[in-house]
């Protein structure tokens, strides 16, 4: 088994509504820890002192409320009106998440760990992982899931999808593909990949 510093890191990605979270829960039942990068990024923007200082230094003190939590609507408005601001936020947040992920990995004892992130290929960070799993589903199913989950209009979901690569493009880059199309059992697919990863640990 790899030690804490060389523990096998597996990425798991997929477009909005693909069902990454459901798949991750199955891996967790197998004893595999899952790091949710997008959720952790939001947490760190509220709690990481170095990151908060950097964001305040660039965007001004108004970007945080008096209680220390991020004014997400204000930051979203800034990013919407100035695309270069999004690059700046990412350049500050992503390294903070990477540091936190490494610290988290060092505390795990499982043979491998998963990092769930929506845009592994779009951010060109697949090289950070020994393998990358793609969770995919037909577009119409993905839209139905997000509409039900977030109570939004289908067109809103389609617009959000435009910021992510197509599943076809990502399939050519992924090491493993899980089809969450309501016709194939997820558990069997996860178990098969789990066995294959254990063979390379």
pLDDT 10s digit of each residue in the chain, 201 long? 444 445 799 999 999 999 999 999 999 999 999 999 999 999 999 999 999 999 999 999 999 999 999 999 999 999 888 889 989 999 999 999 999 999 999 999 999 999 999 889 998 999 999 999 999 999 999 999 999 999 999 999 998 898 889 999 999 999 999 999 989 999 999 999 999 999 998
CATH architecture of the domain 39-107 equals 3-Layer(aba) Sandwich (3.40)
**To 5 degrees, how large is the angle CA 129–CA 134–CA 151?**
120
Helix/strand/coil percent split, the chain, to 5:
55, 15, 30
Q: What is the pLDDT of residue 4?
A: 45
Q: 1-33+112-201 — its CATH code?
A: 3.40.50.300
Task: Please work out, in degrees rounded to the nearest 5, the angle formed at the alpha carbon of residue 112 by the alpha carbons of 168 and 199.
Answer: 80
77 Cβ neighbours under 8 A, 6+ residues apart: none
The overall pTM is greater than 0.85 = yes
Is residue 113 within 8 Å of 194, Cβ to Cβ? no
Domain boundaries, the chain: 1-33+112-201, 39-107
Classify burial at 4, counting beta carbons within 10 Å of its beta carbon; exposed 0-12, middle 13-18, buried 19 or more: exposed
């Amino acid at each position: 088994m790899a030690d804490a510093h060389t523990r096998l890191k597996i990425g798991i990605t997929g477009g909005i509504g693909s069902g990454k979270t459901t798949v991750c829960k199955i891996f967790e039942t197998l004893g595999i820890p899952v790091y949710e990068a997008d959720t952790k990024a939001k947490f760190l923007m509220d709690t990481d002192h170095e990151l908060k200082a950097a964001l305040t230094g660039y965007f001004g003190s108004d970007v945080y409320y008096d209680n220390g939590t991020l004014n997400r609507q204000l930051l979203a408005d800034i990013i919407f009106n100035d695309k270069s601001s999004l690059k700046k936020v990412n350049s500050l947040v992503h390294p903070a998440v990477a540091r936190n992920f490494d610290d988290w990995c060092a505390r795990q004892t499982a043979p491998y760990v998963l990092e769930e992130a929506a845009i592994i290929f779009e951010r060109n960070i697949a090289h950070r992982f020994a393998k990358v799993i793609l969770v995919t589903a037909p577009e119409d199913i993905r839209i139905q899931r997000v509409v039900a989950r977030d109570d939004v209009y289908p067109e809103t979901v389609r617009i959000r999808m435009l910021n992510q690569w197509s599943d076809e493009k990502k399939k050519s880059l992924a090491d493993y593909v899980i089809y969450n199309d309501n016709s194939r059992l997820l558990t069997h697919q996860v178990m098969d990949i789990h066995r294959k990863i254990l063979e390379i640990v």
